[in-house]
Structure formats: structure tokens, C-alpha cells
Amino acid sequence: MDMGGEPQVSSGENVRPGQADQAHDQAVTRLRAQYAALPPRAPVRLAKPTSNLFRFRAPSDAPGLDVSRFNRVLRVDPKARTADVQGMVTYEQLVDATLRHGLMPLVVPQLKTITLGGAVAGLGIESSSFRNGLPHESVREMEILTGDGRVVLAGPDTEHHELFRGFPNSYGTLGYALRLRIDLQPVRPYVRLRHVPFHTAQDCATAIAEISESRQYQGQPVDFIDGTVFGRNSLYLTLGDFVDIAPTVSDYTGNHIYYRSIPDKSTDYLRVRDYLWRWDTDWFWCSRALGVQHPVVRRLWPRQYLRSDVYRRLVAMDRRYRLSDRVRRLRGLPPAEPVIQDVEIPVERLPEFLDFFHRDIGISPIWLCPLRLRDDGGWPLYPLEPDTTYVNVGFWANVPLRRGEPVGSRNRAIERKVAELGGHKSLYSDSYYTAEDFWRHYNGEAYRSLKQHYDPRGRLPDLYAKCVRAQ
């Protein structure tokens, strides 16, 4: 791995840094012209081939902004440990570019087609978040196309510092990130995994709190931590640390399934790249709903299609044509409600949340991922407390409804419980808040001030309209 040298362009093309900057500037000029040409009252959307959102809207003929030119890693600087990246670069592209230099982003969300701009305007998380926070906390500065058509440079010490702070969790309703400079961290060739079992949620939560503070377990370092809940009395924390040598290396990109290895192996080793994408091959465990984990299907399914973005497109098609609903009716089964959410719960309240979840929702497995903010400057639209350990709880499945129970009832119950426990909910999927509750949770005062300053004519959608009404 090359750990030194001059800053490199990693765009997939043989171009020099100056040429990459020039190409970027030309793309910005074209995008601003395209934006200005849109009808003033037309809704503005991004025209992009993939999405990791689970707010499904009806197909629209409205024109979208062509951001296909913003898909390059412009520069990796191994000395400064930074990367200059366009907003539509996927984390798969970014990781491939930085690993060549023995570096990786501080936080790499679990799915390959999440874009850097999407993870910053929305939220991302992964097993390094207990020490590195959320993806937007490793951003040094970003170039943003705002709702009023300007392109501004936002950073913690710039004129647009309030936009820099308010951009995370704005979901493209204040503007779009065109270029970002992010911090990187060094890696080693392998990650050693220790799968540690727990029999109660309280013991698991206590261990999470202690490890998040000390960054070690039983006297050994912890660089990564996440957890898997298979049942009320079957919880595992997976503790990862960088190592230079691996006695054996596992491969979960083919017939073997990563999450099934957790109860069976106390220790495991993965190459760094395979560790970062260990969940993507099976979209955590969600590929089982598509039959992809059946041994025969697994052998026949082309390996290049064992990817989360492929599964997501299948789910989108199913939602659009209601195929699963028709099958359930034909089989005489009750309707089901999609419960696809990630929530942040203070670690000391995690046992209460899991008790509620097992009793009233009943989905398993469940993903756990500890989080502590890296930057205490504050992120007003997702106001987590500094010096506090939260646990992201992720759950993704359909829940059969009881007789007479309306669709949305389970998601509403989760929203109420999260609020009761002092937590927060991500907005990438269905939300059911009233406008009053929504703006109380997501700092309506700060949002309205930013909206008035950067999108006074409302050319971009309102955050509540986009995230709750799916407009």
C-alpha cells in the first residue's frame, strides 16, 4: 500500500489534478445553467440511477437535475489524509480509491451505493461511529448548490458556517453537495473479529457503554463495534481491530453468509475491504426475504448481483406493483406493514427499547451500532447530545397486522417509544409524525431560518413534506 507521495487523482480516468478541477468547475457551470432553466414552480429532484431511501413516491414526469458528472474522487492526499470527492461518488468508489493509499474514510456506511453527498445530507453510521461519529463529522468543507441557485463553500469557519452545521439531515431540501473534502484514517490489511455473546440486553448495554468509553475489551483494542440481536436472550457484540497478519481469512461474498457466522465463530478474520462490505452482500439479512439465501438459489444467483442495490430495486418494484400484497391476499394472510427504520437510543435506555421491541414489534435479527459524536459544535437538525453514547437500532422487515389494525400503527408506536426514551429517528424511510411533533424533534426554528436564507422561494421541497408526506 502506498502511504506517501503526491496527491493523486482517483477518478477512474488518466487525468491530472488540475484537469479534474477544471472538469469539476465545468460541471458546476452546466448544473447551475440547468437549474436556472427549470420552471420556477417545478419541483426539483435529482436524476440519479440508485437510491438507498425507503420513501417510495409515485413515478413522476418532473424533470430531474442531471448530476451524473459529479461521480469522481477528484484527489486523495495521503500526507494530509484527506480526499476531495464529488457528491455523487458512491462509498464503493471512494473506498477503492482510498485503500490504494492505505487509507479509508472515518465512517463507511454499510451499503456500497450510498453516496457521500447522500450520507452527509441524510445520515450514515457504521461500526467506527463509537469513535468517529457520523459521516458528516469528518467533512472539512463542502461546495453546495443551494435552493436559490448559488454555489457556496460551507465549512465550520466560513461565511456559510450555519449551512455547514444545518446541512446534515436536511435531505436535499436546502441544497445539494457538489464537492466535499473529508478526513481519512490509516488502515492495516486485515480486521480481526471477536463475536462476544450476551444473554441479557442489560449486560450487552453495559458492555457497549464501557467499550465506547475505553475503546478496548478485556485489555485488547477495539477499532470497530456493532451488534446483532437474534432474540431476547441471544445478543452478540462484534468487536473488530486492525491487524497485519491473519491466520485464515473468511469470504462472505459468495455462498457463505456473514450474519450466520456470528453465533458459530468466536473469532474471525476479514480483509479490510471485505470487512467494510460484510453486510452489503446480503443487505444485512434482508436478502432472505427474496429467497437469495436458499442454497440452490444462492448457487444459481450470479455473484455480481449479490448486492444491496439489486435487492433494493426488487423491493421498489414490489412496492410499485404491490406483488407481495397480492400474494398475501391469495394465501389468505393478513396485510403486512413495512417496518424499516434506524433509531438512536441512549445506551442506558437500550434494554427498555429492546423489551418494547420484542414484545410489540417482534422483528429479528436486529442490528446495534454504538455512536458518540466526534464534533461538539452541534448539528441542529439532528440534535444528539455530546459526550453521550447512543445505540443505533436498525430493523428492516414486514410485520403482519392484527385484525383491524391500520397500516402505520407499528411505526407510530416506535416513534412514540423513541421520543419517550430521549432518542431520535432517521428519516430515510416512512415517518408518521404530526407537523408539530416533527418540528419539535428536528429543530423547526433552525430549519426555517436556513430555508429562508438559502431557498426563499421554496424551489426545493420542505423537509416535512419530503420526509413525512413523501412529496
Q: What is the CATH number of the domain that holds 25?
A: 3.30.465.10
Query: Tell me, what's the pLDDT at 10?
Result: 47
Rounded to whole angstroms, the Cα distance separating 312 from 58 reads 16
Does residue 283 belong to any structural domain of this protein? no
What does the alpha-carbon distance between residue 105 and residue 99 come to, in Å, rounded to a whole number? Answer: 9
For residue 365, cis peptide bond before it (omega within 30 degrees of 0): yes
Helix, coil or strand: residue 220: strand
| 194 neighbors 239 (Cβ within 8 angstroms) | yes
Residue carrying C-alpha cell 459544535: 377
User: How many domains are there within the chain?
Assistant: 1
Cβ neighbors of 45 (< 8 A, separation 6 or more) are 60, 62, 64, 65
What is the longest distance spanned by two Cα atoms in the chain?
66
End-to-end CA distance of the chain: 46
Q: In this predicted structure, what is the pLDDT of residue 312?
A: 87
Q: Is residue 161 part of a domain?
A: yes
User: Residue 123: inside a domain, yes or no?
Assistant: yes
Q: What share of the chain is helix, strand, coil (3-state, %, to 5)?
A: 35, 25, 40
Instruction: Write b or e for each residue in 89-105: b if 16 or more Cβ atoms lie within 10 A of its Cβ, otherwise e.
Output: bbbbbbbebbbebbbbb
Report the pLDDT value the prediction gives residue 5, as an integer from 0 to 100: 41
- Domain assignment present for residue 148? The answer is yes
- Within-domain flag for 273: no
Parts of the chain with a pLDDT under 70: 1-17, 49-63, 471
Half-sphere exposure in the Cβ direction for 89 (13 Å, CA): 30
Q: Which residues constitute the domain of residue 138?
A: 8-186
Those residues whose C-beta lies under 8 Å from the C-beta of residue 196, and which sit 6 or more positions away, are 207, 217, 236, 237, 238, 239
The answer to whether position 78 is within a domain reads: yes
What is the structure's pLDDT at 39? 86
The pLDDT value recorded for residue 333 is 82
Examine residue 295 and state whether it is found in any structural domain, yes or no.
no
Q: How many residues appear in the chain? A: 471
User: Cα-atom radius of gyration of the chain, to the nearest Å?
Assistant: 22
- The Cα 399–Cα 409 span in angstroms is 11
Distance CA 254, CA 245 (A): 23
Q: Is the peptide bond before 400 cis (omega within 30 degrees of 0)?
A: no
Each residue's pLDDT tens digit, 2-60:
333 444 544 444 456 678 899 999 999 999 999 999 888 777 888 776 666 666 565 56
Q: Which residues of 381-416 are buried (b: 16+ CB within 10 A; e: fewer)?
A: bbebeeeebbbbbbbbbbbebeeeeeeeebbebbbe
User: What is the DSSP-derived secondary structure letter of residue 90?
Assistant: B
- The 3-state DSSP class for residue 70 equals coil
Cell numbers linked to 71: 461521480
Q: What per-residue confidence (pLDDT) applies to 58?
A: 57
